[in-house]
C-alpha cells in the first residue's frame, strides 16, 4: 500500500561538493531522509525507471536503504539493483549503473568522514552516465526540498538484502547482487592480472589498509584471491558501521599505521589505503610517500603500460588546486590537459566527450573513463601494473619522473572546524585584496597574478565561478585558498601550496622545507592568524 505522507521543507538540504552530508542524527531526524529522497525522485523522475542503490556500510546505511527502496517503489520505479547488505563502493556503484545502463543510482556515503551514531552520513544521486549529478541537477533537488509538501512511501516489510537474488516490492523488482564480482571483473579487463600474479609470486610484498571501510572485501578478492598476494596483505579488511573508530581518510595523518609501517625497518614494497566508500587512494613506497598530484602525473606518464590504456590517453584532467605536475606530462605526450574546479562531477563531461581519459585531484582521487567516479582500487592496481612492468621501486620511479619533468613540490594545509563567520570574513577580505596584489613582493617572491578561479565547461558551456582564490608568483610558485565543500562542522580552510623546481639539483628536499616561503606568504597574505586565531594546520597532506 502506497502512503502519501505530509511533510514540510527542512532547512539546509543543499548538496555540497559530493551530495548531501550531515551528522547522522540529523539524517535520522523526522522526514529528513524522506524529504531529500523525494526531492531526488521529483527532479529525476522515478516512474518506470531502474536505479542502482548501495552505500559504504556505515551506521544507518541498512535502514536508509530500506526507506529508499520503499520510496522508489511508491514513486513507480520499475527495478532497483542493490548491493548485498546494501553495500557498494562508490566506484562499484558507478560501474553497475554503466553496466546495466540504468537511469542512475543513489549512493549512501559520507565518503572519508567518520561514521557512527554521532558521526556523518550522506546521500547522493548519480546520473545515467554513472557520475555524480552536476550542479544544475543538485540545485534543482535543493530547490525541491525548499517547497516539498509530501512524500510517497510503500508500507511493506523490509526487503531481505542479505541474500543475493530477485524479489518483489510492491510491483518493483529488487535485484540483490554481489557487490564485488562485476567490479573485480572490470579490473581484470584493464590490468595485466597474469603479470601481477607473477609479481606477487616473485615475493613482492604489499600492505593494503582498508581502514575498516568498504574496500575490504574488494581488496581481499582482487589482491589476495585473484592476484595471489599473501593472506593478510589487506588489513582492517572487515567493514564496520563505525569504521572501527577509524577516520577512513587515506592521507598521512589518518592512515598513520600504514605510514609507520612503510617508513619502518621491514617495510613492504608497496603500501596503499582507501577511504570510507572506496573512491580515494593513497599510495606509499618503501620509505617514500607519493603525493596525489605526483601520483596522477606518474600514472599519466605510465598508463600505457597497462592493457586498458595501451592505446594512449586522450587527455589528462586535474582539479585546479592539484599541482601542475600532470600538465608537464600532458605537454610531453602532446595530449590535451584540463583544469577543473574541485569536485569529481566536473570531470564527467570531459570523460563522456572522450576529451580526457585520466583524471585526478590533490584530495587523493584518481580515476579514468572506466567509471564516472574516482576509484581507489583502480589507482592502486594501475600503480601495481606499472611496478610490475618497470620492475623498479616506487622511489626509483619517482626519482626518474622528477629528473625528467622537474618536481612540483606540493602540500595542502587544512585548518578544520573554524567558526564559519571567521572563515567567511577571511575569504571575503582576501578576495577584496586580489586586484591589488600583482606586482607586490612577499617573502622574496613577486606576485604575477591573483584571481578567483572560474571555470567554463568546454563541453556544455556552463560556468562555475568563485571556485578558489589563486595567487601566482613569477617564479611559478602558487598559493590556492578555498573553503571545503564537504565538511559538516564549521568551515575547513584549505591552503594549497606549490613550488616548482626544474632540476637537476634540488629535487630531493622535504616538501615542507621547500615550501616554507610559500607557506609564510600564504599566512601573511590571508592574515590567517588575525582572522582565525590559527597558526598551524590540523592536517598536512
Ligand atoms: C570529495 C570529492 C572530491 C573533492 C574532495 C574535497 O572527495 O569527491 O572531488 O576534491 O571531496 O572536496 P572539498 O570541497 O572538501 O575540498
Ligand atoms: Zn570517498
Task: Tell me which of 89, 94, 111, 363 is the catalytic residue.
Answer: 111
Please tell me the predicted confidence (pLDDT) of residue 476: 86
Are 505 and 527 found together in one domain?
yes
Please tell me the predicted confidence (pLDDT) of residue 503: 87
Q: How far is CA 169 from the centre of its chain?
A: 33
DSSP 251-285: STTTTHHHHHHHHSTT--SEEEEE-TTS-BEEEEE
Distance 286 CA to ligand 1 centre (A): 28
Greatest CA separation for the chain: 73
Give, using CA atoms, the residue closest to atom 3 of ligand 1.
343
Are 305 and 189 found together in one domain?
yes
Distance 497 CA to ligand 1 centre (A): 17
- C-alpha distances in Å from residue 441, one per residue of 6, 30, 129, 436, 453: 61, 55, 47, 12, 22
- Last residue within a domain, chosen from 405, 433, 461: 405
Q: Number of folded domains in the chain?
A: 3
Distance 174 CA to ligand 1 centre (A): 32
Are 335 and 479 found together in one domain?
no
**Ligand 1 pocket, 486 CB below 6 A?**
yes
Please tell me the predicted confidence (pLDDT) of residue 454: 96
Are 211 and 169 found together in one domain?
no
* Distance separating alpha carbons of residues 325 and 117, to the nearest angstrom: 41
Residues of the chain with pLDDT under 50: none
- Last residue within a domain, chosen from 145, 178, 211: 178
Are 519 and 412 found together in one domain?
yes
Are 79 and 155 found together in one domain?
yes
User: Residues with beta carbon < 5 A to ion ligand 2?
Assistant: 111, 275, 277, 279-280
Are 365 and 474 found together in one domain?
no
Nearest atom of ligand 1 to the alpha carbon of 486: 15
Give, using CA atoms, the residue closest to atom 4 of ligand 1.
343
- Best mutation site among 343, 466, 480, 484 for ligand 1 pocket (most ligand atoms within 8 Å of CB): 343
Give, using CA atoms, the residue closest to atom 16 of ligand 1.
484
| Domain containing residue 190: CATH number | 3.40.120.10
Are 40 and 51 found together in one domain?
yes
How high does pLDDT run on average in the chain?
96
Cell, residue 391? 620492475
E-assigned strands of 7-142?
20-23, 50-55, 79-87, 105-108, 120-126
**Ligand 1 pocket, 412 CB below 6 A?**
no
SS3 164: coil
Residues 6+ positions from 143 with CB-CB distance below 8 Å: none
**Ligand 1 pocket, 539 CB below 6 A?**
no
Residue pointed to by grid coordinates 570531470: 347
Nearest atom of ligand 1 to the alpha carbon of 362: 10
Residues 6+ positions from 332 with CB-CB distance below 8 Å: 301, 404, 405
**Ligand 1 pocket, 343 CB below 6 A?**
yes
Nearest to 362 by CA among 305, 414, 428, 415: 414
Residues 6+ positions from 194 with CB-CB distance below 8 Å: none
Q: Quote the domain boundaries for residue 435.
A: 407-540
| Domain containing residue 509: CATH number | 3.30.310.50
**Ligand 1 pocket, 361 CB below 6 A?**
yes
* Distance separating alpha carbons of residues 280 and 290, to the nearest angstrom: 14
Are 139 and 159 found together in one domain?
yes
- Last residue within a domain, chosen from 352, 372, 405: 405
Active site residue 319: no
- Best mutation site among 248, 321, 322, 344 for ligand 1 pocket (most ligand atoms within 8 Å of CB): 344
Nearest to 317 by CA among 305, 329, 326, 308: 326
Are 299 and 422 found together in one domain?
no
- Identify which ligand lies nearest to the alpha carbon of 215: 2
ipTM over 0.95: yes
* Distance separating alpha carbons of residues 49 and 52, to the nearest angstrom: 10
Cell, residue 525? 597574505
**Ligand 1 pocket, 13 CB below 6 A?**
no
Are 171 and 195 found together in one domain?
no
Nearest atom of ligand 1 to the alpha carbon of 345: 9
Please tell me the predicted confidence (pLDDT) of residue 460: 92
Distance 376 CA to ligand 2 centre (A): 9
Are 268 and 393 found together in one domain?
yes
Please tell me the predicted confidence (pLDDT) of residue 333: 97
Amino acid at each position: 500500500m502506497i502512503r502519501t505522507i505530509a511533510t514540510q521543507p527542512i532547512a539546509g538540504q543543499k548538496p555540497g561538493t559530493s551530495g548531501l552530508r550531515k551528522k547522522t542524527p540529523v539524517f535520522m531526524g523526522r522526514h529528513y531522509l524522506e524529504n531529500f529522497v523525494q526531492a531526488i525522485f521529483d527532479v529525476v523522475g522515478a516512474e518506470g525507471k531502474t536505479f542502482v542503490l548501495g552505500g559504504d556500510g556505515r551506521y544507518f546505511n541498512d535502514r536508509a536503504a530500506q526507506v529508499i527502496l520503499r520510496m522508489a517503489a511508491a514513486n513507480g520505479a520499475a527495478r532497483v539493483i542493490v548491493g548485498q547488505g546494501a553495500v557498494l563502493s562508490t566506484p562499484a556503484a558507478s560501474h553497475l549503473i554503466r553496466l546495466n545502463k540504468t537511469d542512475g543510482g543513489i549512493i549512501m556515503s559520507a565518503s572519508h568522514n567518520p561514521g557512527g551514531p554521532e558521526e556523518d552520513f550522506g546521500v547522493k544521486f548519480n546520473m545515467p552516465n554513472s557520475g555524480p549529478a552536476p550542479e544544475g541537477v543538485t540545485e534543482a533537488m535543493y530547490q525541491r526540498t525548499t517547497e516539498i509538501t509530501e512524500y510517497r512511501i510503500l508500507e511493506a516489510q523490509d526487503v531481505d538484502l542479505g541474500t543475493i537474488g530477485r524479489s518483489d516490492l510492491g510491483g518493483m523488482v529488487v535485484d540483490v547482487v554481489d557487490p564485488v564480482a562485476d567490479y573485480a571483473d572490470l579490473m581484470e579487463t584493464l590490468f595485466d592480472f597474469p603479470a601481477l600474479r607473477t609479481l606477487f609470486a616473485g615475493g613482492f610484498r604489499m600492505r593494503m589498509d582498508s581502514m575498516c571501510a568498504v574496500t575490504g572485501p574488494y581488496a581481499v578478492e582482487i589482491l589476495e584471491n585473484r592476484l595471489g598476494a599473501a593472506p593478510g596483505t589487506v588489513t582492517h579488511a572487515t567493514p564496520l558501521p563505525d569504521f572501527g573508530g577509524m577516520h577512513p581518510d587515506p592521507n598521512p595523518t589518518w592512515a598513520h599505521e600504514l605510514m609507520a609501517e612503510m617508513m619502518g625497518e621491514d617495510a613492504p614494497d608497496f603500501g596503499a589505503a582507501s577511504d570510507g566508500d572506496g573512491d580515494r587512494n593513497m599510495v606509499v613506497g618503501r620509505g617514500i610517500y607519493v603525493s596525489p598530484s605526483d601520483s596522477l602525473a606518474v600514472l599519466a606518464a605510465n598508463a600505457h603500460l597497462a592493457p586498458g590504456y595501451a592505446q594512449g590517453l586522450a587527455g589528462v584532467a586535474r582539479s585546479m588546486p592539484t599541482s601542475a605536475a600532470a600538465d608537464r606530462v600532458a605537454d610531453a605526450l602532446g595530449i590535451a590537459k584540463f583544469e577543473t574546479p574541485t569536485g569529481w562531477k566536473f570531470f564527467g563531461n570531459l570523460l563522456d566527450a572522450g576529451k580526457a581519459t585520466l583524471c585526478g585531484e590533490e584530495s587523493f582521487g584518481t580515476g579514468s573513463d572506466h567509471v564516472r567516479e574516482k576509484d581507489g582500487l583502480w589507482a592502486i592496481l594501475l600503480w601495481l601494473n606499472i611496478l610490475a612492468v618497470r620492475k623498479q621501486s616506487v622511489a626509483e620511479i619517482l626519482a626518474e619522473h622528477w629528473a625528467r619533468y622537474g618536481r612540483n613540490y606540493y602540500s595542502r594545509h587544512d585548518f578544520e572546524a573554524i567558526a564559519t563567520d571567521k572563515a567567511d570574513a577571511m575569504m571575503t577580505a582576501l578576495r577584496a585584496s586580489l586586484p591589488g596584489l600583482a606586482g607586490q613582493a612577499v617573502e622574496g617572491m613577486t606576485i604575477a597574478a591573483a584571481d578567483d578561479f572560474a571555470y567554463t565547461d568546454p563541453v556544455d558551456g556552463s560556468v562555475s565561478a568563485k571556485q578558489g582564490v589563486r595567487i601566482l608568483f613569477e617564479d611559478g610558485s602558487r598559493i590556492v585558498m578555498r573553503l571545503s565543500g564537504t565538511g559538516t562542522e564549521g568551515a575547513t580552510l584549505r591552503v594549497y601550496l606549490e613550488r616548482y623546481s626544474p632540476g637537476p639539483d634540488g629535487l630531493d628536499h622535504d616538501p615542507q622545507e621547500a615550501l616554507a616561503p610559500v607557506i609564510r606568504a600564504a599566512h601573511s597574505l590571508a592574515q590567517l592568524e588575525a582572522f582565525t586565531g590559527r597558526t598551524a594546520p590540523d592536517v598536512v597532506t
